[in-house]
C-alpha cells in the first residue's frame, strides 16, 4: 500500500515537471486570447494542488505532505533565483564587471592611474561587500563558522545603528505626541479637549458625549496599558487597579484584531474558492462539456 502511494506520487511529480518543461513545444503563435496549452495544464495543476492541500481538513495525509514539501522546495528555488537576478547580479556582479571594464578601457587608452582606476572606481570597491557577504556563508561550517562573526558584526551593528534614531522617533516620540495632540489634522487639536465638554454640557447629545469622552478615554487607555506592562512593581492596590483597566483596553484591542483576523482569513478562502469556481471550473472544465 505504501509503495503504491510512492509510485503514484513519484509519477505525479514527474508529470508536473515534464508538463511545465514541455510548454516550449506546445506554445502556439496565435495573436488571439484563446487558452494556450500551458495555461490549461497550469490551471489544472494549480487546482489539483489546491485540492491536495484542502485534504488536510479531513486529516493529515501523504497528498498534503507532498504538496507542502513541493511548496517549500519551489519557494526556496524561487527565492534563490530572485535574490540572484534582483540583488547579487545588478548590485554586485554588474558593478564589479563595469569596474574592470573601466580599468581595461583606461589601460587601452593609456590613461590608467591608481586614483582614477582603483581608488575612485566604485565598481571595483563592490568586491569588498561581496567578500564580507561571502564570509556570512561560513556560518554553516563548524570549523570555520567564526569567520562569519566579522560579517555579522558589521551587519548587525549597522542595522541597529540605523534603527535606533528612527525607531525612537516613530515608536515613542511621535506616539507620545499623538497622545497629547491629534497631529494628523491640518490644525492639531488637543486630545483632551475641554471645548467638547463645554459643547456637550451646553447642547447635550449622544454624539457630543461620545466626542467629549473619546479623548480622555484614549489617554487613560494608553496610560493604563503602559502600567500593565510595567512588571518591575507588583500589581496591587491602586497600581494594580490601573493595570486591570489596562487589561480591559488590551482585550478590546485584541478583540478588534481578532475580528479583523477572521475577516482576513475568510478573504483568503474566498480568493481560493473564486479561483476554483470561476477560473478553473467555469473557465476550463465547463467549456469542455459545452457549458459556460
Partner 1 sequence: MRREVPVLICAIMGVAMIIQFFIPHPVSQAIYKTVIKWFIIIVTFAMVLGLLSLTRMHLTKLRRGDKDWFFSLVTISSLFVNLLVGFFSFRITDSFIFEGLKVPFNFFTISFATGLAAGSPFMNLFDYIQVPMQATMFSLLAFFIASASFRTFRARTVEATLLLVAALIVMVGRVPVGHMISTSIPALSDWILVNPNMAAKRGIMIGVGLGGISMALKIILGIERSWLGGGGE
Partner 2 sequence: MYKILNAFLKINRRWIFLLVLLGVLIPLVLGKGLTRSYPGAEVVKVYDFLNNLEEGDIIILSMDYDPATIPELNPMARALLRQCFNKGIRVVSLTLHPAGPGVVITLVDELLREYSQPGVNPDGSVRPVREYGEDIVFLGYKVGTAVNILALGEDVRLSWPQDYAGVELPAYGSDPTQTTLPLMCDVQNYNDVKCVVTISGTRIPEYWVAYGYQRYHVKVATGCTAVMFADFYPYLQTGQMIGLIPGMKGAADYEELINRPARAMVGMLPQSIVHLMIVGFIILGNIAYFIVRRWEKRGGGDR
Contacting partner 1 within 139-168 (CB under 8 A): 139-140, 142-146, 148-168
Residue 146 contacts which entry, partner 1, partner 2, none (Cβ below 5-8 A, type-dependent): partner 1
**Minimum CB distance to partner 2 smaller for 9 or for 47:** 47
* Contact letters for partner 2, residues 66-105 (x by CB under 8 A): ---------x--xx--xx-xxx-xxx--xx----------
**Minimum CB distance to partner 1 smaller for 143 or for 203:** 143
Q: How far is the CB of 276 from partner 2 (least distance, A)?
A: 9
Please list every residue from 59 through 118 that binds partner 1, using CB under 8 A.
Answer: 65-85, 87-88, 91-92
Q: How far is the CB of 90 from partner 1 (least distance, A)?
A: 10
Residue 58 contacts which entry, partner 1, partner 2, none (Cβ below 5-8 A, type-dependent): partner 2
Binding flag, residue 277, partner 2 (CB under 8 A): yes
Compute the distance between CA of residue 263 and CA of residue 255 in angstroms, rounded to an integer.
12
Please list every residue from 173 through 232 that binds partner 2, using CB under 8 A.
Answer: 174-175, 177-178, 182-185
Q: Which of 269, 286, 287, 292 binds partner 2 (CB under 8 A)?
A: 269
Determine contact, residues 138/145, Cβ cutoff 8 Å: yes
Q: How far is the CB of 149 from partner 1 (least distance, A)?
A: 4
Residues forming contacts to partner 2 in the complex (CB under 8 A) are 57-58, 75, 78-79, 82-83, 85-87, 89-91, 94-95, 159, 162-163, 166-167, 169-171, 174-175, 177-178, 182-185, 253, 256-257, 260-264, 266-274, 277-278
Amino acid at each position: 500500500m505504501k509503495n503504491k502511494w510512492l509510485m503514484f506520487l513519484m509519477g505525479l511529480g514527474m508529470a508536473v515537471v515534464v508538463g511545465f518543461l514541455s510548454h516550449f513545444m506546445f506554445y502556439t503563435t496565435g495573436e488571439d486570447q484563446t487558452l494556450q496549452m500551458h495555461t490549461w495544464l497550469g490551471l489544472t495543476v494549480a487546482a489539483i494542488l489546491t485540492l491536495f492541500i484542502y485534504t488536510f481538513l479531513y486529516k493529515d495525509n501523504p497528498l498534503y505532505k507532498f504538496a507542502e514539501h513541493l511548496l517549500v522546495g519551489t519557494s526556496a528555488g524561487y527565492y534563490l533565483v530572485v535574490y540572484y537576478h534582483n540583488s547579487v547580479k545588478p548590485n554586485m556582479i554588474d558593478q564589479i564587471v563595469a569596474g574592470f571594464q573601466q580599468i581595461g578601457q583606461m589601460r587601452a587608452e593609456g590613461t590608467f592611474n591608481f586614483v582614477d582606476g582603483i581608488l575612485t572606481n566604485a565598481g571595483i570597491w563592490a568586491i569588498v561587500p561581496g567578500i564580507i557577504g561571502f564570509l556570512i556563508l561560513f556560518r554553516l561550517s563548524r570549523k570555520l563558522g567564526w569567520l562569519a562573526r566579522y560579517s555579522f558584526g558589521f551587519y548587525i551593528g549597522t542595522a541597529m545603528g540605523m534603527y535606533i534614531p528612527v525607531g525612537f522617533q516613530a515608536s515613542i516620540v511621535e506616539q507620545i505626541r499623538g497622545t497629547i495632540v491629534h497631529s494628523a489634522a491640518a490644525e492639531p487639536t488637543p486630545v483632551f479637549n475641554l471645548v467638547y465638554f463645554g459643547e456637550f454640557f451646553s447642547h447635550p447629545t449622544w454624539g457630543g458625549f461620545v466626542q467629549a469622552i473619546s479623548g480622555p478615554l484614549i489617554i487613560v487607555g494608553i496610560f493604563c496599558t503602559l502600567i500593565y506592562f510595567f512588571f518591575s512593581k507588583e500589581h496591587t492596590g491602586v497600581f494594580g487597579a490601573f493595570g486591570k483597566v489596562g487589561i480591559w483596553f488590551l482585550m478590546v484591542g485584541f478583540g478588534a484584531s481578532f475580528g479583523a483576523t477572521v475577516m482576513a482569513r475568510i478573504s483568503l478562502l474566498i480568493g481560493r474558492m473564486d479561483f476554483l469556481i470561476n477560473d478553473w471550473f467555469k473557465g476550463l472544465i465547463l467549456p469542455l462539456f459545452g457549458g459556460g
